[in-house]
Chain A
Amino acid sequence: MEIFETIRGIICEQLEIEDEETITMETSIMDDLEADSLDAVEVMMDIEDEFDIEIPDEDAEEFKNIADIVKYIEEKIA
């Protein structure tokens, strides 16, 4: 849950979303939040910094929603 909240915080800041509740595990950054490719890259880079991990582009391309990102991070930092 903590990982999800951190990611949600990063996304809200990057995309200037005020209501955190609009973001759930099922949210897709690009499809649901109208983010462009540069937004998505910036979110990924902030996540990399926050969790001190590296997310290769080919991995990032597989993420369909935030649940995928959470799962990915859980596996990386485990």
Chain B
Amino acid sequence: MILKEKNALVTGGSRGIGRATAIELSKEGANVIITYNSNEEKAKEVIKEVEKNGVKGLAIKADVSSEEDVKSMMKTIKSQFDSIDVLVNNAGVTKDNLLIRMKSEDWDKVINTNLKGVYLCTKAVVRGMMKKRHGKIVNIASVVGISGNAGQGNYSASKAGVIGFTKSIAKELGSRGINVNGVAPGFVETDMTEVLSEDIKEQSLKLIPLNRFAKPEDIANVVVFLCSEKANYITGQIINVDGGMLM
């Protein structure tokens, strides 16, 4: 086990990549705290899975784009856990539309959750990491933050923002023993991509050399590696986990 007795916080941990990451982290011995936005039942199921691995688990309802929610989340965490060693900024939403049809509330919603949420959660945990001179932060970006994607102006902008943030904070915190990296998934089989049409799925598959979509675990495995001591000399990097879609 490579994360024994570490405390890990995974935002948006009730489903998809966050869920898989929470479970994989627990398999490596980490206590896992997840946040969820609406689905309490699913979040509790994840915690059950996590606890099966003999570690502590906790689900907290929080909107990561709300400073107040993040503050109260940290209070709850501090009352039950020593401090956070690992942060996975995973919570994210899509509100896809062509630019000329995109409402400004859909722009705000995506930027606030995907980008401001990363800022707020990172800021909230980073002081404890600075004091301990140790910490691992992994931000879930997306290949579309690098390549762009028609119909995802807001989402790709938020993910490009996450990539810039990752690199800047890696530079700021390197001297404190804190590694900050990003993972850029390609097409992953989650609720987020479930809603796409068969046509789009078929077209996307043609662009993937490995000829399949990712399972959430494919992404989680890389996240776990970046959260471990094995990745101590990696910081400020964005690792594409996309079956070779973007090279």
Q: Do A36 and B175 touch (CB < 8 A)?
A: yes
Task: Closest B residue to A39 by CB, please name it.
Answer: B175
Cβ contact within 8 Å between B127 and A38: no
B50 to chain A, nearest CB (A): 32
> Which positions 184-243 of chain B face chain A at CB distance < 8 Å?
none
How far is B241's CA from A17's CA once the two chains are assembled, in angstroms? Answer: 44
A25 to B173, CA, bound (A): 29
Within 24-48 of A, Cβ neighbours of B (below 8 Å) are at 36, 38, 42, 45
When distances are taken between beta carbons in the complex, the residues of chain A under 8 Å from B175 are: 36, 38
- B199 smallest CB distance to A (angstroms): 50
A37: nearest chain-B partner, CB-CB: B172
Closest to B127 in A: A45
Report chain B residues within 8 Å CB of A38. 130, 172-173, 175-176
Q: Please, how many angstroms separate the alpha-carbon atoms of A45 and B126 in the complex?
A: 13
Interface mask (B91-111 → A, CB under 8 Å = 1, otherwise 0): 000000000000000000000
Chain A contacts to B: CB under 8 angstroms = 36, 38, 42, 45
Nearest first, the 8 A-B pairs at minimum CB distance are A42-B130, A38-B172, A38-B175, A45-B127, A36-B175, A38-B176, A38-B130, A38-B173
What are 8 inter-chain pairs, A to B, with CB distance below 8 A?
A: A36-B175, A38-B130, A38-B172, A38-B173, A38-B175, A38-B176, A42-B130, A45-B127
